[in-house]
Amino acid sequence: MTISEIKKGVKRTLLAGTIAYSTLFATDILSNYALEEIKSQRELEEIVHEEATTLGMDPEIIKCELLNELAGESIYGGDLKNQYIYIGGLLANRKIVRHELYHIYDKHCDHDTKTKAELNYWFIEEPKAIIYSLTGLKL
């Protein structure tokens, strides 16, 4: 195998990876438009309870809040009593709840450095949470 063949293989691999990564994120974003919106705090709490139980988590440790503005965020408190999910607007749906719960379930906030956190978030954690929210597959 020559150097030019190796370069060509690397370029093709990078292109395929970029296309797959972009497709995953586009699918995640576009799928939000077809989902039923969570309309009340009570409904959000029921969905969080159901989905946390499905993941094998204790639903009592998850606090959630339905906001009026566009939001989809989980905050991992570092122990088993301070887990938060905030959602609102277009992102107030069951898929986003599943997505944010998976971040907490898989402890996606445990990092040593900011650089490591950013790289892990964009290339490992976020794709894993998207795949779980779309398919239910735990990676």
pLDDT of residue 115: 72
Q: Residue 98: what pLDDT?
A: 95
Q: Which amino acid is at 67?
A: L
* The two three-digit tokens of residue 127, written as one number: 């794709």
**pLDDT > 90: what percent of the chain?**
47
| Single-letter amino acid, residue 137 | L
Q: List pLDDT tens digits, range 75-98.
A: 776 666 678 899 999 899 999 999
Q: CA of 130: how far to CAs of 12, 20, 50, 82, 113, in Å?
A: 24, 13, 18, 23, 23
Check if the beta carbon of residue 98 is closer than 8 Å to that of residue 51. yes
Amino acid occupying residue 134 = L
- Over residues 99-135, the pLDDT tens digits come to 999 998 988 766 566 777 788 888 899 999 999 999 9
* 62-67 and 83-88 beta bridge pairing: parallel
- Give the domains, in start order, of the chain with CATH numbers: 36-135 (3.30.2010)
Are 62 and 105 in contact, with CB atoms under 8 Å apart?
no
Instruction: Name the pTM for this structure.
Output: 0.83
